[in-house]
Amino acid sequence: MSIQFNTKVDCQYCPIRHRAVCARCDDSELEVLNAIKTYRSFEAGQPIVWRGEPLQFVASVVSGVASLTKTMEDGRTQMVGLLLPSDFIGRPGRREIEFDVTATTDVTLCCFEYKAFETLVNDTPHLSQRLMELALDELDAAREWMLLLGRKTAREKVATFIEMLVRRSKVDDIEGNRPEMALPLTREQMANYLGLTLETVSRQLNALKKDGILSFTDRRNFNVTDISQLHLETGDDADGGVIS
């Protein structure tokens, strides 16, 4: 069994307070949200929503990582989104989604009953504005990923994925030296995100290790040993704009 995390944290102390759907809400709006929110936990591997199934709730990811995946009839699958803390599940006016949402690590969600949330959105510009921002951010991210899927080499894909993990996780980390990080996905899941096979992902990760860009403490935990070289490997800039 996974760690349960169903104790409601007051929004004031919520780690995703300033990035989630509630980011623009004032104190009184936050009180309303606080009153109707519930926490739910999912173990790694569990489904959160099935494709085509009507949403019972919408939710923000509080901790952990969830994935959005599309599957073809013959089993080929493509991950079309990765939900990290502060990301949102569910869209106004869309009761069904056309991909599966799955917990890839243990996940805690801050949930709102579908209908109640919809009503609230209609009365709360701060919420609907933020939902639009989140949707546009996702659209930008999806298009960035289209470039990766269509045009990048295997090595560039893997480097880009690692760089994205570093960028997104820094939000939660204390400034300064770069702590060890965990891969929230298996080789197979990374392959499905990057449009590769699991063998190719494995080979490329080990190549980045051999080249002194990453170092691994075990198969899932690593350090970036050369962040500027990592950036060069993404193909995103001719000359590596150093990140940190």
Would you list the DSSP string of 37-93? -EEEEE-TT-EEE-TTSPPSEEEEEEES-EEEEEE-TTS-EEEEEEE-TT-EE-BTT
Q: Does 38 bind DNA (CB under 7 A)?
A: no
SS3 202: helix
Straight-line distance from the first to the last Cα atom of the chain, in angstroms, rounded to the nearest whole number: 38
Among residues 34, 46, 77, 225, the one that binds its own copies under rule CB under 8 A: 77
Q: Give CA–CA dist 153/156, Å, rounded.
A: 5
Q: Does 74 bind its own copies (CB under 8 A)?
A: yes
Are residues 137 and 108 in contact, defined by beta-carbon separation less than 8 angstroms?
no
Span from 87-95, 103-111, 165-173, 215-223 in contact with its own copies (CB under 8 A): 87-95
How big is the chain by its Cα radius of gyration, in Å?
Answer: 19
Could you say which residues in the range 48-107 bind DNA, by CB under 7 A?
A: none
202, interface contact from DNA, its own copies, none, CB < 5-8 Å by kind: DNA
194 Cα distance to chain centroid:
14
Among residues 153, 171, 173, 178, the one that binds DNA under rule CB under 7 A: 153
Binding flags for its own copies, 92-111, as an x/- string (CB under 8 A): xxx---xx------------
Handedness of CA 168, 141, 139, 54 (dihedral sign): negative
Among residues 81, 85, 90, 184, the one that binds its own copies under rule CB under 8 A: 81
Q: Does 196 bind DNA (CB under 7 A)?
A: yes
Residue 9 is classified by DSSP as P
Binding positions for its own copies, rule: CB under 8 A? 68, 70, 72-74, 76-78, 80-81, 91-94, 98-99, 128-129, 131-133, 135-136, 138-140, 142-147, 149-151, 192, 194-195, 235-238
Q: Could you list the residues that contact DNA (CB under 7 A)?
A: 153-155, 183, 186-188, 195-200, 202-203, 205-206, 216, 218-220
